[in-house]
Amino acid sequence: MSKDYYIFSEGRIKRKDNTVYFIDSQENKRALPIEEAERIHLFGEIDLNTKLLNYISQYGVVLNFYNYYGFYTGSFYPRKKRVSGLLLVKQGEHYSNYDKRLYMAKSFIDGAAHHILKNLRRYKETTQEQIEKIENERENIDKAKAIDELMGAEGRMRMCYYGAFNGILSNGFTMDKREKRPPTDPVNALISFGNSLMYTTVLGEMYHTQLDPTISYLHEPSSRRFSLTLDVAEIFKPLIIDPLIFYMVNNRMLKQEDFDNYEGVCFLSENGKKKFIREYEKKLETTIKHRSLNRKVSYRTFIKLECYKIIKHLIGEENYKPLKAWW
């Protein structure tokens, strides 16, 4: 079974013969089982070389890099083994055809809205006002005739959603407004950190399909990001990340002392990151009985299945319908 590995310490990763080692700043050495790895997340200051990159590329291992604050900065993305010229043409066609692009963009936001409302309804004693506003915005999303109009409705929906967090979270965790660059309080830090993990998870699952992660529909394609990954992540952030934040904060699994502040930036401490990642991995491996497959499927597998649903839509096999959790 492929796994994710997380490295927080400073040091270097090197290949010796057919083994990859991580050597920390104290010269302690441990082997990394590359044959079992799917992604390696580097939070510490790590040295590596092209000899290592060439080797791990043979196994399709994605390296994800995070900065001092624990926020995602980039990936080493090996040459894809699964490619399809036909699918690439179809992806471009669905971007160039505005109606087709708008359909996909609306689908991603509709999936996100479903999970946002599902979260709020669990706390409807304090979130009824936000539920009603978001239900109205959901109608505007459906009526939107342009991507900009759609993004405006999505932005208002998100603002309203984040405004409900203070009625959901307890134990002194509050948020005045959503701040990304940089986060200045623990709740914003948690959202940013969780969303970074979600982005890299979606990117990793997409790597194992024939989708090109740079051709997107909701987010504008860019030369500096995997924008289709951002599209798909919209569905899963409120399904996986936000409930995890509510759970960990309200059950005192994360406390104020799990956060650090440096030059006006609030971020999880190393211990806080480890706590969150441990629960995040448990969540990804949690299984749900799939309605049509008639078997249990993990949250991680749901992400990969979403990619395959997009492929079927692009090649004309089946209209894309975003995941809407029924459990």
Q: Which residues are annotated as part of the binding site for Mn(2+)?
A: 154, 219, 234
Helix, strand or coil for residue 117? helix
Give the closest residue to 323 by CA, choosing from 298, 308, 302: 302
Annotated binding residues: 154, 219, 234
Q: Six-digit token pair at 282?
A: 């448990």
> β-strands 259-262, 287-289: how paired?
unpaired
Region of 41 on the Ramachandran plot (φ > 0 left; ψ -120 to 50 alpha; else beta)? beta
Per residue, what are the HEC states of 307-325?
HHHHHHHHCCCCCCCCCCC
Torsion over CA of 226, 227, 231 and 232, rounded to 10 degrees?
A: -10
Nearest C-alpha neighbor of 100 from the set 147, 40, 136, 169:
147
Say how far apart CA 260 and CA 186 lie, in whole Å.
Answer: 9
Task: Give the other-Cβ count within 10 Å of 14's Cβ.
Answer: 17
Q: Cα 65 to the chain's mean position, in Å? A: 14
